[in-house]
Amino acid sequence: MYSEDVIRRVRDSINVYDLISGYVALKKTGKNWLGLCPFHSEKTPSFNVNTEKQIFHCFGCGVGGDVFKFVELQEGLNFPEAVKTLAARSGITLPQDNRDHRQDKRTEDEKKTLLKIVAEAAAYFSKELEGPAGSAAREYLRKRGVSDAIIREFALGYVRPEWDGLLKHLKHLNYTPSQMERAGLVVKRSEGEGYYDRFRGRIIFPIRDMTGQVIAFGGRVMDDSLPKYLNSSETALYSKSHVLYGLDMAKDHGRKQGYFIIVEGYLDAIACHQYGIRNAVATLGTALTDGHLRLMRRFADKLVLIFDPDPAGVKASLRGFDLFVSSSMKVNVVSLPGGDDPDTFLQKQGQEAFAARLRQSAKFMDFVVEQVVKSSPSRSIDEKIEKAEEMLSYISRLQSGIERDHYLKKTAEILDLDETVLRQEMPKQTMKLPFAPAGGTAPAAPAAGRRRPRAEEILIHLILKDEGIARSLKDRIEPRDFTDPLFQRAVERIFKMLDEQGKLDTGALLREEDEELKNLLSHYAVLDMVYEDPAKSFQDCVEVIKQKDPEKKMKLLIRAIQEAEARGDIATIKRLTEEQQELSRRPGRKIPGKSGTSTE
427 vs 404: CA distance, rounded Å: 12
| 466 and 503 Cβ atoms separated by less than 8 Å | no
- Residue 568 exposed, middle or buried by CB count within 10 Å (0-12, 13-18, 19+): exposed
Where a domain ends, among 175, 203, 238?
A: 238
409 vs 420: CA distance, rounded Å: 9
- Beta-strand ranges (E) seen in 235-329 are 260-263, 280-282, 302-307
Same domain, 155 and 209: yes
Range of the domain at 545: 454-585
Same domain, 25 and 134: no
Question: What's the chain's length in residues?
Answer: 600
Same domain, 86 and 113: no
The CA distances from residue 578 to 225, 486, 594, 598, in Å, are 82, 20, 19, 16
In a domain, 490, yes or no: yes
In a domain, 259, yes or no: no
Same domain, 421 and 462: no
CATH number at residue 227: 3.90.980.10
Same domain, 70 and 143: no
Residues 6+ apart with CB under 8 A from 153: 249, 273
Same domain, 464 and 502: yes
H or E segment to which residue 332 belongs: strand 330-335
In a domain, 338, yes or no: no
Where a domain ends, among 55, 90, 125?
A: 90
Q: List the Cα angle 41/252/255 in 5-degree steps.
A: 40
In a domain, 208, yes or no: yes
Q: What is the pLDDT of residue 439?
A: 34
Local confidence pLDDT in tens for the 600 residues of the chain: 677 778 888 888 888 998 999 899 999 888 899 999 988 877 889 999 998 888 999 988 888 899 999 998 888 788 888 999 999 888 888 876 555 555 556 777 888 999 999 999 999 999 999 999 999 999 999 999 999 999 999 999 999 999 999 999 999 999 999 999 999 999 999 888 899 999 999 999 999 998 899 999 999 999 988 899 999 999 989 988 889 999 999 998 998 898 999 998 899 999 999 999 999 999 987 788 878 887 888 788 899 999 766 666 677 778 788 788 877 789 999 988 877 899 999 999 999 999 999 999 999 999 999 888 876 665 688 888 888 888 988 888 887 888 889 999 999 998 888 988 888 887 665 544 443 333 333 455 454 444 567 888 889 989 888 888 888 888 888 888 888 888 888 899 999 988 888 888 887 787 766 777 888 888 888 887 777 788 888 888 888 777 665 666 677 678 778 877 776 778 778 877 877 777 666 544 443 333 333 333
Report how many domains make up the chain.
Answer: 4
Q: What is the pLDDT of residue 245?
A: 97
In a domain, 121, yes or no: yes
186 vs 456: CA distance, rounded Å: 64
In a domain, 166, yes or no: yes
Phi first, then psi, for residue 248 (nearest 5°) are -60, -30
338 vs 340: CA distance, rounded Å: 5
| 246 and 282 Cβ atoms separated by less than 8 Å | yes
Q: What is the pLDDT of residue 52?
A: 83
Same domain, 116 and 227: yes
Where a domain ends, among 206, 221, 238?
A: 238
Q: Which DSSP category does 146 fall into? A: -
Same domain, 415 and 462: no
CATH number at residue 69: 3.90.580.10
| 482 and 456 Cβ atoms separated by less than 8 Å | yes
Residues 6+ apart with CB under 8 A from 438: 40, 41, 42, 60, 61, 326
Phi first, then psi, for residue 103 (nearest 5°) are -65, -45
In a domain, 298, yes or no: no
Same domain, 382 and 497: no
Same domain, 475 and 540: yes
Same domain, 402 and 462: no
Radius of gyration of the chain (CA): 31
| 367 and 333 Cβ atoms separated by less than 8 Å | yes
Question: Across the strands, what pairs with 331?
Answer: 303
215 vs 207: CA distance, rounded Å: 6
DSSP assignment of 28-70 equals EETTEEEE--TTS--SS--EEEETTTTEEEETTT--EE-HHHH
Q: Which DSSP category does 218 fall into? A: E
**Dihedral, 468, 472, 477, 479 alpha carbons, nearest 10:** 20
Which of 131, 274, 125, 115 lies closest to 203 in space, CA to CA? 125
Phi-psi group of 184: left, alpha or beta (phi > 0 → left; psi -120 to 50 → alpha; rest → beta): left
CATH number at residue 565: 1.10.860
469 vs 87: CA distance, rounded Å: 33
In a domain, 288, yes or no: no
pTM of the model: 0.60
Same domain, 124 and 59: no
Phi first, then psi, for residue 93 (nearest 5°) are -85, 125
* 364-372 and 381-395 helices, crossing angle to 10°: 160
